A = this chain, B = another copy of it.
Amino acid sequence: MKGALTPAAAADMIPDGASVMIGGFMAVGSPLRMIDALVARGARGLTVIANDTAMPGRGIGRLITAGCIARLITSHIGLNPETQAKMIAGEIDVELVPQGTLVERIRAGGVGLGGVLTPTGLGTEVQQGKQVIEVQGKRYLLETPLRADFALLAAWQADYLGNLCYMLTAHNFNPVMAMAGATVIAEADSIVPVGVIAPDAVKTPGVLVDHLLLRSGKGE
Contact = CB atoms under 8 A, between A and B. Distances in A.
Interface of A: 104, 108, 112-119, 133, 135-136, 138, 140, 142, 144-145, 165-168, 199-201
Given A165-B200, A199-B168, A200-B168, A117 B114 contact: yes
A179 to B, nearest CB: 14
Nearest to A166: B200
B119 A116 contact: no
Given A200-B167, A201-B201, A135 B115 contact: yes
A167 B198 CA distance: 10
A140 B117 contact: no
Contacts of A135: 114-115, 142, 144-145
B133 A142 contact: yes
A104 B110 CA distance: 13
5 tightest Cβ-Cβ pairs between the two chains A and B = A114-B140, A114-B117, A114-B135, A115-B135, A115-B117
Nearest to A200: B167
Candidate in A115, A118, A201 with the most chain B CB atoms within 10 angstroms:
A115
A158 B113 CA distance: 32
A140 B145 CA distance: 13
Contact of A115 (B112, B140, B144): B140
A187 to B, nearest CB: 18
Contacts of A116: 113, 117
A195 to B, nearest CB: 15
A166 B202 CA distance: 12
Contacts of A165: 200
A144 B142 CA distance: 14
A104 B117 CA distance: 12
5 contacts: A113-B116, A114-B118, A117-B117, A135-B142, A135-B144
Contacts of A108: 117
B114 A104 contact: no
Contacts of A104: 113
Nearest to A136: B144
